């Protein structure tokens, strides 16, 4: 792996882009201070320039290179970063002028986190510069949680994929912005649900969801209603009784536990059934497997994927968010 880290850093220094694992999903990284390199990320992903990237730093001390933390947020930022970094919590903070506008889509704020993945951390540290890295998939498609999935998405478009096995979280980082309150704990605006849950954040402040704007417009750039989408239509079936199969059409079930006697499994003579957490029904396992299972079903050749809901607590909030966006029509 040392050689791979060295090769990745050599490419990044030369202004190239490299796919590499984070604990959430595989990312497509570029030197965050090199706008030409960042432009290659947008081009390879076919990502619209209004969708800003997350900047990854090697240590908490590097935060000042990319963000200007206002005095009234300093204590909260300190508490959150001590508790959750390195890890899957992204903070939206006022941007440092050195961060190119392309990275933040011209916003005055920057999204920043420190990855906990040992390989990503090694690359970040050896490079000695922040890395701008969105998920290593084509825009709007299923995020990759293994190097093979990156190859399917971006093979031929990028010079290197660093393969370090499957990701340990499986869904993208939790994103929050912070609003200080005089004499009270701050308010955290939840821009994207992720592995750091509302329950965990509540120890440090009040968590409020950012409202989706009317007309399906994103509340934050990039949080589009349709995202993480397979090519095969996916329907999130909130109640089994809502299922109306059409004669001659083939259906796959994306099940939570996949038990033989489950109401969703028994509902239909499914062409394929894939379970997120076979038998045991653990949300953490379901999150890790979500994008992999979506990809398997997408490639299974059925006409439609029917997804069973999971309970919307803890990590289930992030899973349901991804399923809803996968099911939304673009």
Contact positions toward ligand AMP, by CB under 6 A?
51-54, 92, 104, 107, 109-111, 134-135, 172, 175, 191, 220-223
- Write the CB contacts of 328 (distance below 8 Å, at least 6 apart in sequence): 225, 226, 227, 229
Burial 282-313 (b: 16+ CB within 10 A, else e): ebebbbbbbbbbbbebbeeebebbbbbbbeee
Task: Tell me the C-alpha distance between 6 and 67, whole Å.
Answer: 27
- Smallest gap from Cβ 249 to ligand AMP, in A, equals 33
Cβ proximity to ligand AMP: between 34 and 223 the closer is 223
By a kind-dependent CB cut-off of 5 to 8 A, residue 110 interacts, out of ligand AMP, Mg ion, none, with ligand AMP
Told to check if 22 binds Mg ion by CB under 5 A, we report no
Contact 80, 73 (CB under 8 A): no
By CB under 5 A, how many residues form the interface with Mg ion?
A: 2
Q: Report in angstroms how near the CB of residue 314 gets to ligand AMP at its nearest.
A: 20
Q: What residue 38 binds from Mg ion, ligand AMP, none (CB within 5 to 8 A, per partner kind)? A: none
Interface region with Mg ion, contact rule CB under 5 A, candidates 127-135, 254-262, 265-273, 320-328? 127-135
Of the two residues 51 and 153, which places its CB atom closer to ligand AMP in the complex?
51
d(CA 161, CA 255): 31
Q: Is 277 in the site for Mg ion (CB under 5 A)?
A: no
- Exposed/middle/buried for 25, CB within 10 Å: 0-12, 13-18, 19+? buried
Given the complex with ligand AMP, which of 224 and 265 has the nearer CB atom? Answer: 224
The packing angle between helices 316-327 and 283-298, to 10°, is 20
Q: Quick one: tokens of 320?
A: 């349901």
Tell me if 135 contacts Mg ion by CB under 5 A.
yes
By the criterion CB under 5 A, which residues form the site for Mg ion?
134-135
């Amino acid at each position: 792996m040392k050689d791979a880290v060295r090769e990745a850093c050599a490419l990044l220094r030369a202004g190239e882009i490299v796919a590499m694992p984070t604990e959430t999903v595989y990312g497509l990284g570029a030197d965050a201070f090199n706008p030409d390199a960042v432009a290659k990320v947008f081009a390879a992903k076919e990502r619209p320039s209004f969708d800003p990237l997350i900047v990854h730093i090697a240590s908490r001390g590097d935060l000042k290179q990319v963000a200007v933390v206002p005095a009234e947020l300093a204590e909260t930022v300190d508490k959150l970063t001590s508790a959750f970094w390195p890890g899957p919590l992204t903070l939206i903070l006022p941007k440092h002028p050195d961060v190119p506008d392309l990275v933040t889509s011209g916003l005055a704020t920057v999204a920043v986190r420190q990855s906990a993945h040992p390989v990503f951390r090694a690359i970040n540290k050896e490079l000695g510069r922040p890395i701008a890295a969105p998920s290593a998939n084509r825009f709007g498609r299923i995020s990759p949680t293994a190097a093979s999935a990156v190859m399917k998405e971006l093979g031929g478009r990028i010079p290197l994929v660093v393969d370090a096995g499957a990701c340990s979280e499986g869904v993208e980082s939790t994103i929050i912005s912070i609003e200080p309150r005089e004499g009270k704990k701050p308010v955290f605006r939840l821009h994207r649900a992720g592995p750091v849950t509302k329950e965990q954040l509540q120890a440090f402040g009040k968590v409020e969801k950012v409202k989706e704007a009317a007309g399906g417009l994103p509340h934050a750039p990039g949080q589009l209603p349709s995202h993480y989408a397979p090519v095969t239509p996916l329907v999130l079936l909130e109640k089994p009784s809502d299922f109306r199969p059409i004669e001659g059409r083939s259906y796959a079930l994306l099940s939570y536990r996949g038990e033989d006697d489950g109401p969703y499994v028994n509902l239909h003579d499914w062409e394929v059934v894939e379970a997120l957490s076979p038998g045991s029904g653990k949300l953490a396992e379901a999150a890790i497997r979500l994008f992999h299972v979506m990809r398997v079903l997408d490639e299974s050749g059925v006409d439609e994927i029917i997804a069973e809901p999971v309970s919307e607590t803890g990590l289930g909030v992030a899973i349901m968010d991804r399923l809803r966006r996968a099911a939304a029509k673009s």
